Amino acid sequence: MYAIIKTGGTQFRVEPGMKILVPHLNGEEGSALTFDEVLLVAKDDKVVLGHPFIDGIRVSGKILEHTLGPKVVIFKRKKRKGYERKTGHRQKQTWVEIEKITKS
C-alpha cells in the first residue's frame, strides 16, 4: 500500500515504515504528524485518485530529526568595478518516518 502526499509544495510517494526528507515542518522531534493532503492511494491493484485531495484518508508519521540541507553559495561580481559579494544559505529540512495510512 502506498500514497502520494503533498507537503511543503512538493509531492512524495510514501509507504508505511518509510523515512523521507521534507521541507521544514513545525514540531518537536518525536512528535506525531498527520498529512491530510493525500492525492492518491493505491492498495494492490486498486487505485483511488483525489480531485485534488481524497477526503477521509490520513497519513500519519512522526518527526525524527530537524536538519539543514547542503550549502548553496551565492557569488555576485561586476567586472572592472571591484564589486564582489559572497553569501551562503542552508535550507531547513525535516526527517519524517511514515507510520500508517488510514481511512477515517
Distance of CA 85 to the CA centre of its chain: 32
Residue 73 lies inside a defined structural domain of this protein: no
The per-residue pLDDT for 104 is: 81
Please check whether residue 57 lies inside any domain of the structure.
yes
pTM of the complete model = 0.87
Decide: 20 and 96 in contact? Cβ < 8 Å: yes
Domain carrying residue 13: 2-67+94-103
Q: Is residue 76 part of a domain?
A: no
Count of structural domains within the chain: 1
Does 81 fall in a domain? no
How far apart are the C-alpha atoms of 34 and 63, rounded to whole Å?
11
Predicted confidence (pLDDT) per residue in 83-100, tens digit: 999 999 999 999 999 999
